[in-house]
Amino acid sequence: MSKIPENYLPPKDMWPEYLVPEEFADTPTDLNLADFLVDRHVREGRGDNPAIKFMDKTITYAQLQQQVNKFGNSLKDAGVEPQDRVGIRLVNSPQAVVTVFAIEKVGAIPVPTSPLWSAEEVAFVANDSEMKFFVVNAPLVEQVEKAKPNLKHGTKVIVIGGNPDEVKAAGNMVFEEMLEAGSPDLEPTMLKANDIGIMLYTSGTTGMPKGCVHFVRSAVIEARIVNKYVYKMKPGDVLGGAAPVSFAAGFGTFTLLPFEGGAAISLIPKFSPPDMMDLIQKHKITILTGLPTAYRALMKFPAFKDYDVSSVRLYTSGGDALGAETLKGWQELTGKPIWEGLGGTEMLHLVTSNTMNSEPVPDSIGKPLPGVQVRVIDESGNDCKPNEVGSMILKGASGTLYWKPYTDDERLLKSQKKGVVKGWNQMGDAVFMKEDGNICFVSREDDMIKSSGYRIGPAEVEEALEKHPAIAEAGVVGIPDPDKGQITKAFVVLKEGYEGNDEFFEELKGFLKEHIAVYKLPRAIEYRESLPRTPTGKLLRRHLRPPKK
């Protein structure tokens, strides 16, 4: 087994406190993620059940297991050892899922990387994680090729798709040839509870991405909790959505949770309303998950009513504020609500959900999941009163544990010290808790606007802006102001036929006074053709802020 140096993890006194609910204390201490998520279902007689639905193809659990074994054996033959890091830069596809489980089955650690990252970011993460191999889709290989001269640990690239001769001419390995050559029989490499199961990198909002370590047993416990209390997936269910497996949220949602319950996944390489609606109908999706922007796009899709969505029993959302208007509009359109929750890369997946209520509470991210303790504290560390905005801290099955804090990059050690205080994970989310225990998300603390002593959540202002008939999209940030500290600035995309000018801005402020308090009104506005978003549609407010001087 590849030995991970002791100083690649923070000292134990800087670790979060891990909580294991009594009902999940039976989770074994010797584990293999692929064995638990795939092989277990074949052993227990569910080998013929669908595991992956992709376009017109269905792959059963037994077929998935065989492909995992074949690629896993080829990875072993190529030199992958337990606890080695293997990167993935992949679009949603059966090959992506096979790759993840093959890495896990040989006891290695999958490292998802964003398809949006530049060559510099790719090289940083490959070097930081000390990747032995990097599995990449052919259309995404360009930045990896550019990064190659700066790779320090002999990282070898495996390419899915493309021309095999061209792949080999570039010095890379061919996924399809490895899959064909591998033996279909492979025993799982069992890991101990505190061996690393997954490494997820943050989006790099304050410098280069940070690696977040998740132990194998914690990952299984988190999957069991979230599936039991949120998704309730079982054989026969089909989970659909567009979150990429190369992003932290998509990785957990599509390679952990459904397989914990023996369900199937419906994969879509890239979100578009007609393609998503087509797959709901074709694959008979029973659970749909997506960002609020995806639901809003579906609500605007003119042909929505032409599709049969009767198979869907549950809609879930997270990653950004859903808003009461979207919740109401979706319920009117489909007759079913959207159940919102909150999670994070550092926590692996969800920590709160509206499914802990009998029905969704508008503008709420729900209550803590079983085994999760949540507090809302003020700047002095004291518990806030009900409805008072503060900082969210928590303990759960997983937690903030940054990789390689003892590097030349001092921010990592600072991040660990800031991220965990006396065993509590500091989430960086501004929230308030109602008297009934429901938590309301206000903003990422970095996004909070502090103006003349007021704390303004941008999502509330954005939602009000998008109620105006002329506005298609809105983004709101705080910009420096010598008198107020910050003022609220709106970035808007106007619908066709409308013109942005001083007269429009004055009319808009009058409109907004009907929906938000005067102190929250935008004091500046900028008109854009589009707003910066992730591939899944999440607004990137950091790209709207002025650069720091």
Q: Which of 234, 285, 288, 222 is nearest to 261 (CA)?
A: 234
168 pLDDT band, cuts 50/70/90, is very high
Interaxial angle between packed helices 502-512 and 458-465, expressed in degrees from 0 to 180 and rounded to the nearest 10: 110
Cα separation, 502 vs 507, whole angstroms: 9
Q: Could you report the per-residue pLDDT of 69-117, keeping only the tens digit for each?
A: 999 999 999 999 999 999 999 999 999 999 999 999 999 999 999 888 8
Encoded amino acid at 145, one letter: E
What burial class does residue 382 get, using C-beta atoms within 10 Å of its C-beta: 0-12 exposed, 13-18 middle, 19+ buried?
Answer: exposed
517 pLDDT band, cuts 50/70/90, is confident
Sequence-ordered list of residues with C-beta below 8 angstroms from that of 235, at least 6 positions apart, any chain: 41, 46, 49, 261, 262, 263
Average of per-residue pLDDT across 363-388: 95
Check if 13-48+58-207 and 456-543 are the same fold. no
According to DSSP, the β-strands at 57-60 and 50-54 are antiparallel
What pLDDT sits at residue 538?
77
Query: Is pLDDT of 17 > 80?
Result: yes
Q: Could you report the per-residue pLDDT of 40-49, keeping only the tens digit for each?
A: 999 999 999 9
Cβ(363)–Cβ(323) under 8 Å? yes
Q: Could you report the per-residue pLDDT of 423-477, keeping only the tens digit for each?
A: 999 988 889 999 999 999 888 888 888 888 787 888 889 989 999 999 999 999 9
**DSSP tag of 306:** G
Cα separation, 441 vs 457, whole angstroms: 9
Q: What number of helices (H) and strands (E) belong to the chain?
A: 17, 28
Cα separation, 75 vs 178, whole angstroms: 8
Average of per-residue pLDDT across 507-517: 93
Average of per-residue pLDDT across 143-156: 96
Q: What dihedral angle (degrees, nearest 10) is formed by the CA atoms of 131, 132, 135, 136?
A: 60
Phi-psi label, residue 497: left if phi above 0, alpha if psi -120 to 50, beta otherwise: left
**In the chain, where are the structural domains located?**
13-48+58-207, 456-543
Average of per-residue pLDDT across 53-81: 97
Q: Could you report the per-residue pLDDT of 383-413, keeping only the tens digit for each?
A: 999 999 999 999 999 999 999 887 656 677 7
**CATH number given to 13-48+58-207:** 3.40.50.12780
Q: Which of 229, 292, 219 is nearest to 256 (CA)?
A: 219
Joined together, the tokens standing for residue 240 give 């659909």
Joined together, the tokens standing for residue 475 give 């983004």
Instruction: Report the alpha-carbon angle 158-163-164, nearest 5.
Output: 55
Cβ(289)–Cβ(241) under 8 Å? yes
Q: Could you report the per-residue pLDDT of 309-325, keeping only the tens digit for each?
A: 999 999 999 877 788 88
Cα separation, 44 vs 29, whole angstroms: 20
Rounded alpha-carbon distances, angstroms, from residue 232 to 9, 20, 228, 462: 34, 19, 5, 33
Cα separation, 116 vs 355, whole angstroms: 32
Query: Is pLDDT of 206 > 70?
Result: no
Cα separation, 97 vs 500, whole angstroms: 46
CATH fit for domain 456-543, picks 3.30.300.30, 3.40.109.10, 3.20.140.10, 3.40.1790.10: 3.30.300.30
The number of residues making up the chain comes to: 549
Write down the mean pLDDT value for the chain.
Answer: 93
Cα separation, 51 vs 94, whole angstroms: 10
Residue for token digits 């650690």? 109
Query: Is pLDDT of 544 > 60?
Result: yes
What pLDDT sits at residue 418?
87
More confident position, 208 or 303:
303
